[in-house]
Structures are given as structure tokens and as C-alpha cells.
Amino acid sequence: MQRVLPELLAVPWSRPLAERIERDGGLTNENMPLLFEARFAHALHSQGLTPEYEYRAGVGDTVIDFRVPGNVDWLFELTSIRPSEALRRATVEDGPFISRLLQSPSMANNAKENEESEEGEMLLVQQKIGEKVFDGKQVVKFPVPGGPIQVIVVDMRAFLDGGDHWDYTQIAYGPRGMPQELVHCWLHKGQWQPIHGLFEPECTGRAAPYIQQRIHFLAFVAETSYDSGDIFRQIRLLPNPTLLSKDDVKTLAAQCPVKFGK
């Protein structure tokens, strides 16, 4: 970041982001979401792209983090998963040693105890994604699709050591096609049920219908090396089957400014 920020300050479209980071204290833990935005911006800049930062897409006074113009415009909204309160409760520090105990939900547990689980963390990720589309009262940021490809990019570093392909799959698509032993379940109306994906009609999250109607891709990334291009090597884009056919995805793969990772 000590190398990235000066480069962003020298670029007109990214200067407001870099100045905001400096104004808010620079390289601090509190700025981790903004620093993720900065690394994403730098990755775009490194590809010779000239995005528009904090783009107004016409949904009230809300803005989307990046608009990347092209034959097809791409709109990217970023969200960072930060350590949850439940995760903090489940973490014990003893001198230089840190241990964390997450247990499966149980009917014998109270609500707080059940939150201290991988399943509770998965539901929190879905909630954070949903907040980028629906604020509890109205739709925000993303308009009804009519041209640009609309993407929510999720910084997953604080989720269970970054999570894996199966975690991302269930968050987006639910349990279908997953190995049964890897499916996460949650207590719903007195019964254990698989956690449904945000792209599934069965998903009970209040924001899920708007995600299904407006978001073309959910993208998950957990950086490892933080060197140049690491975001785009690690990123995984999962298409919304309601909005995109397999042929659409093949066409867009060649045009996507962040590529599709492995």
C-alpha cells in the first residue's frame, strides 16, 4: 500500500480515493475496506483502464464504487467482510497464542451461541452483500439492468481464513450440486434447513429478490500475496443464472475487466 497510494494520487480518477484514505488516517485497520478499494483501483489502473470512481447510476443519491467503460460498461461495488462480533466472542488470546472455537449450531444453544459458527458467518456474508442492493427500506446503488454489467465484489479475507470454492458456491447458489457433507444448515422455523443462496428463489433474505433482479455477478476474492495483480488472480466471479445464460457468460468472460481468476 505504501507503493500503491502514491501511484493512485498521481491519477486523476483515483486521486479522490487516495486522498480520502490519507484524510482518514492512512494505513490503519479501520481503513481496511478503503484499502481494498485502493488495491482494486490499482489493479484496474495497471491494466490501462480509466474507471469512474463513485459513479451515480441514478438510484437516489447512492453511488457505485467503480464504473469501467467499454463496449459494455461494468459497474463494480465492493464490500469487505470484517471480523464479526460473534467471531470476536469465539476468539481467545493467551499471550502470543490465539485460538478460535466455532461450533455447529444446535437447538440446545441460544441465539448468540449459534452465531459463533461457520453458518453464522456465512449468513453474515449474505447480509453484507444484500446491504449493497437493499438498505431495509428501499433499493440502493444498482438500477434495473439495462446495459451495464453489475457486479458486487466481496473481500473475503476475514471469513474463515478466506473461505473456499464451496463456501462461495453456497453463498451464491445454495446447496444444489454440493457434496452433502459440506452443506451448511441453519435453524429456520424450528427445522434445520440448508442455507439457500442469494441467487435462489428460495432464499429468505430480504435483499435476495433484488440481487436476483439486478446483479449479474457475485465476485469473491481473498488476497494472499498482495503483490501486483493478486486480486485478479484470486477473484472468482459467479454468474446470476436469472440474468445470464451460459452463452452470455462465455461472451462476457472475454470482455470482463477483472477476468475470472482460476
- Are both 119 and 158 inside the same structural domain? yes
- Are both 38 and 127 inside the same structural domain? no
In a domain? residue 176: yes
Residue whose C-alpha cell reads 477483472 in the numeric block: 258
- Are both 31 and 106 inside the same structural domain? no
- Are both 88 and 209 inside the same structural domain? yes
pLDDT in tens, 58-87: 999 999 999 999 989 999 999 999 865 544
Q: How far apart are CA 76 and CA 37, in angstroms?
A: 10
How much is the pLDDT for 102?
Answer: 45
Burial status of residue 246 (CB atoms within 10 A of its CB: 0-12, 13-18, 19 or more): exposed
pLDDT in tens, 52-61: 999 999 999 9
Q: How far apart are CA 187 and CA 192, in angstroms?
A: 4
- Are both 165 and 176 inside the same structural domain? yes
* pTM (predicted TM-score): 0.89
In a domain? residue 251: no
- Are both 17 and 147 inside the same structural domain? no
Cβ neighbors of 4 (< 8 A, separation 6 or more) are 38, 39, 42
Cβ neighbors of 63 (< 8 A, separation 6 or more) are 54, 55, 56, 57, 141
Tell me how many domains the chain contains. Answer: 2
Question: Does the pLDDT at position 49 exceed 50?
Answer: yes
- Are both 231 and 169 inside the same structural domain? yes
What is the span of the domain harbouring residue 230?
53-244
In a domain? residue 37: yes
- Are both 146 and 44 inside the same structural domain? no
How much is the pLDDT for 20?
Answer: 96
pLDDT in tens, 208-233: 999 999 999 999 999 988 887 889 88
Question: Does the pLDDT at position 134 exceed 50?
Answer: yes
Q: How far apart are CA 220 and CA 211, in angstroms?
A: 15
Instruction: Please report which helix (H) or strand (E) contains residue 51, including its range.
Output: none
Q: Which one-letter amino acid corresponds to residue 35?
A: L
In a domain? residue 212: yes
- Are both 146 and 105 inside the same structural domain? yes
Question: Does the pLDDT at position 47 exceed 60?
Answer: yes
Instruction: Please provide residue 123's backbone torsions phi and psi, each rounded to the nearest 5 degrees.
Output: -65, -35
How much is the pLDDT for 93?
Answer: 61
* 8 A C-beta contact, residue 171 and residue 126: yes
- Are both 92 and 184 inside the same structural domain? yes
Of 55, 47, 50, nearest to 77 by C-alpha is 55
In a domain? residue 252: no
In a domain? residue 261: no
In a domain? residue 254: no
How much is the pLDDT for 98?
Answer: 55
- Are both 74 and 128 inside the same structural domain? yes
In a domain? residue 115: yes
- Are both 153 and 217 inside the same structural domain? yes
